[in-house]
Structure 1
Amino acid sequence: MIRIDKINIKEFRGIRELTLDLTGQNFAACGPNGTGKSGIVDAIEFALTGNISRLAGAGTGGLSVKAHGPHVDSRNKPEVASVTIDVTIPSLGNKKAQIRRTVKSASAPEIMPADKGVIAAFESVNLHPEFVLSRRELIRYVLSEPGQRSKEVQSLLRLDDIEKLRGVLQKIANACGKDLPALARAEKDAITNLLVALDTAQLSKKSVLDAVNPRRELLGLPPLTDLDANTSVKDGLSTTTASTPGRVPKVQAAADLAILREAIQALKGDAFKQACSTAEANAAELGKDAKSLDGLSREALLKSALELYDGAVCPVCDTLFEPDAFTNHLAGKLAHLDDVSKRRAKLEAELKPILDALHAAGTALNTMIEYTGLFSPKIDTTALTEFRTVLRGRYQQVQRLLPLDDTCAILSAAHGVPDMEPSLAALAAAIAAIPEPNKQDAARDFLVLAQERLENYRTARLKFAAGKVRADHATRIFASYGTVTTTALENIYKDVESDFACYYRKINEDDEKSFTAKLMPSIGKLGFDVDFYGRGHFPPGAYHSEGHQDGMGLCLYLALMNHLLGPNFTFAVLDDVLMSVDAGHRRQVCTLLKEMFPNTQFIFTTHDEIWLRHMKSEGLIKGRNFAHFRTWTVDLGPTEWDDRDVWAELEGYLAKNDVRAAAALLRHYLEHFAKEACDRLRANVEFRGDAQFMLGDLLPNATSTLGDLLRRAKVAANSWNQKDVVERIGTIEVAFVEAKTKTGYENWQINTAVHFNEWADLKKEDFTPVVSAFQTFTRAFGCGTCNEMYFVVPARGKKEGLRCGCGALNLNLLQKGG
């Protein structure tokens, strides 16, 4: 990936213009809420990806980068809203590159140099937008439901397509299985028709050959010795001697008519009546229970929704759903209807023989209706076609089951058959009137019809076989996919689990040295349990505090990124993610990031100055690699606690003769400055539990501490006989004392001209020298070369040296032999 060297932001979000030098190192942006920190995060994300997460996702309807990316005063000029980032690319031998993106052309960044390696590096960053992490993203890894956590973690690991493909495979398997009953019924009907044509009781190779070979012998055709998928039982019949087209085969027609009579008689029989009566009673009983009736309706709706779901939108409410979320949501609802499902299954079992009888009658009617068009004169089949329509309606309603009242009505009348005897008698007479065929014609008709129905059977059998193969393959593929992906995910999560526990132990080594964790993947879910002081493993939200949960979120994120990118994990933005980590563990967090991720550039945002000081004192943030914001205005954007910023702003106030505003700003700046000086010089300040230190609490201690350090450094230099160092310290002391004297600082208690509580009442002419004097005074605390404030080393323990960021000042505080 990359490391950021510099960011330039113009007219973007709440920033008018801002340049930050990160030098490829860790960087922190600190300031109260509303001072522009998030604008920097948005700018980085926008420059590298073209998107802004804060303007996308749930609860951001109507927001967009194009409309709301530019500064509010440039909302109609998206071309001026731009972010430019200079980077170093470690994988290309620390090659320098630049990317610039404007809101107007968000999808077309300007990249320099535009060679393949640089473009590939930026594309790699674009593929991993998770380099920006805020607390809302961080905590979801810890406190999410298993299904949602699985989605979030797999998305971070670039594995989100796994769940999408699993959902597709499951849908295919379900669809293939749903097709089988219809294919099986079609094969069964084809077998029945073939057996009627062959006039045999069972279907086998021998029974077919035994039926067709005597007829072939009558026609002088060689007998068939075998019957394979391509064998034609009428093979050898001449087209000129074939049966006359459209002629009704007398024998087969008579047999089909007999089957129709049997099917109709079955509908009138006592067994069918009893089956209908029993099923009707049970359906009525189920319908009396309003709860069960509602459950049946809900179950039917849910199952229909599952079948009709297209992988994107709910077919009922048109809401967008991820496949796994949709199926899990409906599966949970169906689980609550288990009792209803069992009662429905029992009723459907009772209805099956009824459906079979209705289907048999309908099939027999279809066959005879096809014959009627071949007779001359044609036979009136109105009664047959009308009853076929009635049977189809009965069959469909019983199969559908709901509404139960309609099904009960059908069952009570299912054995009712209209008088079709005139039509059946006409058919029987027409069949009887067909001239008796001679043996050769009968044999020919037999073979023609047998071949036709044999082909229908073969087609139906192949379709059913193919359907079974599809269903079997789909089921096995789905199962195999689940097994393989679960195994692979288990291996991934095992590595992540180990790193996560290691990182968490690192930041909680004082009380959780034996901490362990369990990431438990399963199809569509990722369980996450953590040890609670040896009492067992529980979900993170069960017993651990919010601070511990935030720590877990960070550790899990780092473990996932480490697994995903390894040595390419060179860059991450942590946006206010550790605010609830208690002060006692902040140093350990800094140590974790320094020791475990020395090659990763972290960019932090925080509104807590103490956090910033922790990061600086622990060496996570070095030198001036931070931006400390003090305020924000819509006209100016964020302003820093920076010398150039403050003194220029003070000059502006004085130019407008606004002494009151200038006095307030100088007072606030000196409070900020004094805090920083006390921290860097390790001054002794009277402790306050609320950490609300006034300027009078801080500045005197900072001033006296620097004077004391210079004196100690001079004594140490003399002990080492370092005359040149003594001389240099003397020069610094003279400048420092002179600057302090010009402020009148030591006389502030009796001189109202320098009493900061009285500044607002001064005139411009009186206050301007005060500003000038304090500007010189504050600069005396730092290096004129690097403009960084002096600081004591080490951060803890015995004070050994006084230094600046560039090394121009490096004074020893330890005396010879001390």
Structure 2
Amino acid sequence: MIRAKQISIREFRGVRELTLNLNEKNFAICGPNGTGKSGIVDAIEFALTGNISRLSGAGTGGLTVKEHGPHVDSRNKPENAQVSLTVHIPSLKQDVTIVRTVKAAKTPKLVPDTAEIRAVLNKVSLHPEFKLSRRELIRYVLAEPGKRSQEVQELLRLDEIEATRALLQKISNACTKDFTNQKDARDRAGIALTSAIAVTKLSAASILEAANAKRALLGLPPIAELEANTSIKDGLVSTTATPIQASKVAKAVAKADLETTRLALKNLVGEEHKAWITAASFQVAQLTSDVEFLKGASKSQLIQAALKSYDEQVCPVCDTPWTPEHFRKHLTEKLNKYAAATKKKSDAANEIQPLITGLGELRRSLLTAAKYGPQLMPPVECPEVKNFVASTDAKIQTLSNLLPLEETIAILAEISVVPTAIGDELTKLEVAVAALPEPSQQDAARDFLSVGQERLVAYRDASLRLKKAASAAETAKTVLDTFGESTTAALDKIYKDVEESFSRLYRLVNHDDEDNFKALLKPSMGKLGFDVDFYGRGFFPPGAYHSEGHQDGMGLCLYLALMSHLAGDAFIFAVLDDVLMSVDSGHRREVSRMLKSEFPNTQFVLTTHDEVWLKHMRSAGLVDGKQFAHFRTWNVDAGPTEWDGKDVWQELEELLAKNDVRAAAALLRNYLEYLSKELCQSLRASVEFRGDMQFTLGALLPNAIAKMKKLLKAGRVATESWGQTEKSAVIVAREESFNLATQATQAEQWQLNTLVHYNEWANMHKGDFEHVVKAFRALEDLFLCRTCNSTLYITPDYGEAESLTCLCGESHFTTKKKAAA
């Protein structure tokens, strides 16, 4: 998306004033811990996103960009904390400068400012994963499967998949529940119908057989086929009851309905029902500690929206200031508790459902029985039945809601208790119905057809509702399954591609001992397993047998594989913040080569506290020439100080102006040690190897001087052999100047000359030491190009030297003689 060209930082984090030219190329920042490297990383992230991830997340309680983004001396003036980042946008072929202050972190100034530029930069801000620190790197490798799945899906922008799946699952569950309820209603209507027409199995044939038998008694023609709108009482003429029949109640149907009611009462106190009560009571008891979260479970969507809308400063709902870490931690904990409470509620609801079904059947049976009371002669009053039905309605409602929880617990404790008066009133109904005169065959046939038709209509309506519910449930399940199958297949392919890319990158880094390395990314519902091969002995989690250094390498390779899949050709910028701190030096060189060869179009900004790692990056060609900043120290007043010749000599002048010879001597000694390492690296000078990599100044500078003399001599001889008289004269002049400079510093007799030892320097007077500083500055100048100020270096990087050159080519001459004719 973008490449960085230049960054200027002012009063931001630990930096007072600093400008770095990144030039759209790889750039390294090296320095001991505490010298300000991470401040540069924070500045880049802040310029592009308005946020600093180092000040958010776990372990950063109380930290905010607004409070802790500015330099400590500017904390009360956030408008002075400013980062200016110039980037190139390849897709638009245009440069743009982003200027962002801590005070207005969310409203950067863009120069130029166009809709197209803002669209690109907005897209970059949505991908803060362009920056990788070791804290983020290791979480991909050592995280728990559930957490890793979340981290990886967020990185790949797949987190919405799970949200969509959850929504589809919720719809499917609701449709399935409705289907179950409609099936129960249809079954109850079927039972009522079979009871009314006295058949054992409900079918079109059995209904027609029973109905036609009664129709024959009434002289009505038989029904040939039972269709959707067929009425079994078609042709029946309404008649007035005979004098002997004092009631409108169909005796046979009433007796069957009362028997069903007695059975429902018996089931309510049966052993199966008691077992359901015990199971439901246990599940409800698990909810007592989650009452508050059950009441607010519907707020989870609001909380998720708040998390997405949070601007790192104030809550988007109530405008209350929050620190990012506290805000996210607080809401995440709430979401987790809501989810846990909802799961417990679902488990309890599943256990309670049979009780609700049983109560519903009893309620309907009692209502059916009670309706006969007013129709009997004399009427039979059933006030206790009506009161019990009303209380049962309330119990069903409470059990369905589960809240208030104490009421649910109380209902479960008394659910099997049926007042004696209920049984007494049912007995009165049974006695009254039994006392009814037996109807004539014709009257019984009329009652049969009338009640049968009424219940047949109810059964048809229930069947129609069930059919619609079944269709909806099937459709919802098909959508859920299709979504699951397609996303699983897509995720499997994504993870397979990432797995192969990761394994290949890791093999490139560790080809010396793990050339057959493989990895397995194993996605499952809400989880992502990650196992790696261990020398052909099997697949294990990375933390099982691999060293910390190997784990760091895995984290980097997995990150690169994920980013490659996510961005593709748009992966052209990444910040790697000290991500290989535990990788051994041999593999760091391989990492450098891997980054250079596999990601040639990606601009990497890398930080490290290890100079060896910096040298590997430079020697592998990952970082060119002067594309690095080498910090030597940091203090609160000045910020980071670079190992830059001009900077050091200026600081030495300031120290001498204060007559602080001791501090100047220490600084000069440290700088010469740094410079000597750089010169030996550039000139490929031979140095006696030390396993601890702690080389003294006496072991480095004389070797660099000797190698430069040798190269100058070789260059003079070579240019003469080629007949390059003018170039040869330049080298001769440089040789003379170089010899005079080395004599002035007496550096060739370094081990014997006590003058150059730090203690002797520290005891010198200002006037004497000024000559030492001047001599060494003159010596340094002769290792540099006067035009581009870069250190002279040998080409090629290995084998026989062919030339001594600089970055601009102005100070270039061959060291290879012309072959004899």
For the aligned pair, the TM-score class normalised by the smaller chain equals: 0.7 to 0.9
1:784 alignment partner, SS class: coil
CA–CA separation in structure 2 for the residues paired with 1:199 and 1:295: 41
Distance 1:194 1:303 in 2: 43
SS at 1:556's partner residue?
A: helix
- The one of 536, 539, 543 equivalent to 1:537 is 539
Matched, 1:113 2:112: yes
Change (3 A) 1:326 1:790: farther
1:365-404 pair list within 5 angstroms: 365-369=366-370, 380-388=381-389
Is the partner of 1:9 in helix, strand or coil? strand
Counterpart-to-counterpart distance in 2, 1:235 and 1:654: 121
Question: 1:301-336, CA deviations, whole angstroms, 9 ceiling, x for partnerless residues?
Answer: 99999999666679xx996379999989999x99xx
Is this contact kept in 1: 2:232–2:449, CA < 8 A?
no
2 CA distance for matches of 1:141 and 1:397?
A: 46
Secondary structure at the counterpart of residue 798 of structure 1: coil
- Between stretches 636-645 and 293-302, larger displacement belongs to 293-302
Indicate how the Cα distance of structure 1 residues 278 and 189 shifts in structure 2: closer, same or farther if over 3 A, else same: closer
Q: 1:223 to 1:638 in 2, by over 3 A?
A: farther
How do residues 330-349 of structure 1 correspond to structure 2 at under 5 angstroms? none
Contact 1:4 1:88 in 2 (8 A): yes
Q: How far, CA to CA, are the matches of 2:62 and 2:468 in structure 1?
A: 50
Q: CA deviation at 1:604?
A: 0.5
Amino acid at match of 1:382: P
The structure 2 residue matched to 1:276, chosen from 270, 286, 296, is 270
Corresponding residue number in structure 2 for 1:16: 16
1:37-116 matched pairs, under 5 angstroms? 37-92=37-92, 94-116=93-115
Q: Is the 8 A contact 1:196 1:252 kept in 2?
A: no
3-state SS of paired residue (2:80): coil
Structure 1 distance, partners of 2:239, 2:42, is: 84
Correspondent of 1:261 among 255, 258, 262: 258
**Which residue of 2 is the match for residue 364 of structure 1?**
365
Distance 1:578 1:695 in 2: 28
Code of the residue aligned with 2:20 in structure 1: it is L
User: 1:278, CA displacement in angstroms?
Assistant: 7.4
CA gap 1:457/1:654 in 2 versus in 1, 3 angstroms: farther
- Deviation, 1:763, is 3.4
Cα pair 1:736 1:780 within 8 Å, conserved? yes
Structure 1 Cα separation of the partners of residues 189 and 741 of structure 2: 108
* Cα distance in 1 for residues equivalent to 2:341 and 2:719: 75
Give the AA of the match of 1:132: K
| Secondary structure class of the residue paired with 2:759 | coil
Decide whether aligned partners of structure 1 residues 443 and 529 sit closer, same or farther in structure 2, where only a CA change above 3 A counts: same
1:485 paired residue number: 487
Is contact 2:261–2:365 with CA below 8 Å preserved after alignment?
no
Matched AA of 1:137: E
C-alpha separation between the residues in 2 aligned to 1:389 and 1:473? 37
Residue number in structure 1 paired with 2:710 = 708
C-alpha distance 28-355 of structure 1, shift in aligned 2 (>3 A)? closer
SS of residue in 2 equivalent to 1:79:
helix
Query: Are the structure 2 counterparts of residues 598 and 256 from structure 1 closer, same or farther at C-alpha, using a change threshold of 3 Å?
Result: same
User: Which of 519, 522, 532 is matched with 1:520 structurally?
Assistant: 522
Quick check: 1:162 aligned with 2:161? yes
Residue 731 of structure 1 pairs with residue 733 of structure 2: yes
Residue 622 of structure 1: CA displacement?
A: 0.6
The whole-number CA distance in structure 1 between the counterparts of 2:584 and 2:338 is: 39
Which residue of structure 1 lines up, in the alignment, with residue 315 of structure 2? Answer: none
Farther off after superposition, 367-376 or 152-161: 367-376
Q: Secondary structure at the match of 1:783?
A: coil
Superposed, which structure 2 residues align to 1:427-466 within 5 Å? 456-466=458-468
Counterpart CA distance in 1 for 2:398 and 2:358 is: 14
Deviation by residue 1:740-774 (Cα, 9 ceiling, x = unmatched): 34445457778776543223333333333333333
| CA shift for structure 1 position 583 | 1.4
Q: 1:365 & 1:279 partners in 2: Cα distance?
A: 18
**Shift in Å, 1:627:** 0.3
Secondary structure (helix, strand or coil) at the match of 1:809 reads coil
What RMSD, in angstroms, separates the aligned Cα atoms of the two structures? 5.0
Q: Which residue of 2 aligns with 1:618?
A: 620
Q: Mark the CA change 1:729 to 1:362 in structure 2 (over 3 Å): closer, same or farther.
A: same
* Deviation for aligned residue 1:156: 2.2
User: Which stretch shifts more, 773-782 or 253-262?
Assistant: 253-262
Kindly indicate whether the alpha-carbon contact (under 8 Å) linking 2:284 and 2:409 is maintained by their aligned counterparts in 1: no
Alignment of 1:717-796 (within 5 A): 717-743=719-745, 745=747, 755-796=757-798
1:246 corresponds to: none
Q: Match for residue 34 of structure 2?
A: 34
The Cα shift of 1:385 comes to: 2.7
Q: 1:599: how far off?
A: 1.2
The answer on whether the counterparts of 2:138 and 2:552 sit within 8 Å (CA) in structure 1 is yes
Preserved contact between residue 306 and residue 327 of structure 1 (Cα < 8 Å): no
Distance 1:62 1:651, change over 3 A: same
Residue-by-residue CA offset, 1:653-688 (whole Å, 9 max, x unaligned): 333333332222222112111111122112222322
Provide the residue aligned with 1:189 in structure 2: 188
Distance in 2 of aligned mates of 1:527 and 1:329: 27
Bigger Cα displacement from structure 2, 251-260 vs 553-562: 251-260
The total of aligned residue pairs comes to 785
CA distance in 1, matches of 2:543, 2:56: 27
Cα distance between partner residues in 1 of 2:331 and 2:21: 46
Distance 1:747 1:192, change over 3 A: closer
1:529 counterpart letter in structure 2: D
Mean CA deviation greater in 603-612 or 583-592: 583-592
Deviation at 1:782, TM superposition (A): 0.5
Residue pair 2:196, 2:448 contacting (<8 A) in 1 also: no
For structure 1, the 5+ residue unaligned runs are 244-248
2:686–2:703 Cα contact (<8 Å) kept:
yes
The Cα of 1:237 is off from its aligned counterpart by 12
TM-aligned CA distance change 1:358 to 1:716, over 3 Å: closer
